[in-house]
């Protein structure tokens, strides 16, 4: 149960798995053990351009989450449009899809092979754009493509840069730094919109207009200390985009693979979704009452969320187990040993999509409530501020896929995950077969 160290390319990192230590870490204030400093360090903020600060966390907590009920219908609509755009019509499928269907699926060419990770990423980028900048920018394909490109590029650049000593990182970035180049392109794309919103704010029209009640406007309103610097606002916007696109692309693809690998869950999930939507109480109410779907999502994350809390020691810290963290130490919390504990979960190594539906009372959003038995979103006051929204977005995505499509694996087994050190990513090359369902 003690903390332990594992070597990374450039340093030793302290790992914690014991629930009591997790609880202890969650109570240590940010001026001693910082999430923001750790994140900027791991993602190499000076080179990638990512910008994370308390203002962004506060906006997510106090503006985005509180506005979520009014935002959900728009997001639900956007997800349907995006899926129809990025999953090609099976009518008139390309020859390559025709042959793949015949050879692999042994089904009619109504089935279309779709790259799972890229498709979920594209759809997520569209949804994020609709939430954060609104229309018409959300339908600007260059903007959504660049946003996703930057989000995934930050992860890759962070991994690469952390392999080199600090003294060599400027040279590495001078030779090859895709996120910095993409940041310039995004700024060029969105600069005029930022100036337009700034002008509206100056005339007080922005605060009266529900049309612009989105993240971009909130960032501009809260950036007076920096004279509403357009480049800084772009970096902040992209940083929230990063958290949304990277997390939902990875988790959404994991879930999609589990769904395709376990077709026995499809009909029960469809039945629950249809029933919830048919109650006529609105999209938010329906999503909150999809308990079986939430159980399936929760079980998927139980298997695949390897690191859930990241911190950097700002002051020397000694934990209750005697572990000493000098200044600059990176600390990560891994929930996997707890999530795979046979003492907590019966048949812990077996995927059971109904596990949490059977074990928990039927109250909304149990997945977003951290506990010491289940903490993919962290624990305590510094748990992921957008976790409720993340769960809702996953439900939106799966609702449209389940009601709109039949799905099938390309092979016989779930695509193998990809590991980079202690980080687990879904297979980004595997394809899923989709077939448009005929509405009854």
Long-range residue pairs from 425-428, CB within 8 A, at least 24 positions apart, any chain: 425/250, 426/116, 426/117, 426/250, 426/253, 426/254, 426/257, 426/304, 427/116, 427/117, 427/253, 427/257, 428/117, 428/118, 428/253
Q: Which helix (H) or strand (E) holds 189?
A: helix 178-202
Beta carbons within 8 Å of 385's beta carbon, 6+ residues apart: 57, 60, 61, 65
- Residue 426 phi/psi, 5-degree rounding, is -70, 155
424 labeled part of a ligand binding site: no
> Could you check whether the bond before residue 136 is cis, i.e. omega within 30 degrees of 0?
yes
Angle at 256 between CA 247 and CA 40, to 5 degrees: 10
On the CB side of 297, how many CA atoms lie within 13 Å of its CA? 28
Q: Which helix (H) or strand (E) holds 330?
A: strand 330-333
Instruction: Say if residues 431 and 114 touch (Cβ distance below 8 Å).
Output: yes
Instruction: Say if residues 129 and 138 touch (Cβ distance below 8 Å).
Output: yes
| Residue 54, number of CB atoms within 10 A of its CB | 9
Please enumerate, by residue number, every residue annotated as part of a binding site: 384
Please enumerate, by residue number, every residue annotated as part of a binding site for heme: 384
């Amino acid at each position: 149960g003690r903390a332990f160290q594992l070597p990374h390319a450039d340093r030793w990192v302290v790992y914690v798995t014991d629930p009591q230590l997790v609880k202890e870490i969650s109570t240590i204030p940010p001026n001693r053990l910082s999430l923001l400093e750790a994140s900027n360090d791991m993602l190499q903020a000076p080179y990638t351009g990512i910008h994370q600060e308390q203002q962004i966390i506060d906006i997510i907590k106090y503006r985005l989450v509180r506005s979520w009920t009014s935002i959900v219908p728009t997001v639900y609509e956007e997800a349907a449009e995006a899926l129809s755009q990025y999953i090609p019509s099976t009518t008139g499928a390309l020859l390559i899809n025709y042959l793949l269907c015949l050879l692999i699926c042994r089904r009619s060419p109504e089935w279309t092979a779709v790259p799972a990770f890229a498709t979920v990423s594209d759809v997520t980028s569209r949804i994020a754009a609709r939430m954060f900048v609104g229309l018409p920018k959300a339908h600007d394909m260059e903007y959504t493509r660049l946003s996703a490109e930057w989000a995934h590029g930050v992860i890759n650049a962070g991994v690469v840069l952390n392999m080199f000593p600090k003294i060599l990182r400027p040279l590495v970035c001078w030779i090859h730094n895709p996120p910095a180049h993409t940041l310039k392109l995004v700024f060029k794309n969105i600069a005029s919109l930022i100036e337009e919103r700034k002008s509206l704010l100056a005339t007080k029209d922005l605060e009266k207009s529900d049309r612009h009640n989105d993240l971009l406007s909130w960032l501009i309103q809260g950036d007076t200390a920096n004279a509403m610097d357009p480049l800084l606002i772009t970096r902040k916007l992209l940083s929230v985009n990063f958290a949304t696109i990277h997390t939902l692309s990875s988790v959404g693809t994991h879930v999609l693979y589990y769904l395709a690998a376990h077709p026995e869950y499809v009909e029960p999930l469809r039945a629950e979704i249809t029933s919830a939507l048919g109650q006529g109480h609105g999209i938010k109410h329906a999503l909150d009452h999809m308990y079986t779907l939430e159980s399936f999502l929760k079980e998927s994350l139980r298997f695949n969320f390897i690191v859930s809390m990241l911190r950097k020691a700002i002051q020397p810290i000694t934990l209750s187990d005697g572990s000493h963290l000098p200044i600059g130490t990176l600390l990560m919390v891994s929930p996997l040993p707890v999530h795979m504990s046979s003492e907590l979960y019966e048949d812990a190594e077996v995927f059971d999509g109904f596990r949490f539906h059977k074990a928990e009372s039927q109250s909304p959003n149990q997945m977003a409530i951290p506990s010491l038995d289940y903490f993919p979103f962290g624990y305590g006051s510094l748990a992921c501020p957008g976790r409720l929204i993340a769960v809702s977005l996953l439900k939106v995505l799966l609702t449209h896929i389940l009601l709109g499509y039949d799905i099938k694996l390309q092979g016989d087994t779930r695509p193998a995950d990809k590991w980079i050190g202690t980080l687990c990513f879904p297979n980004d090359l595997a394809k899923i077969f989709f077939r448009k369902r005929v509405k009854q």
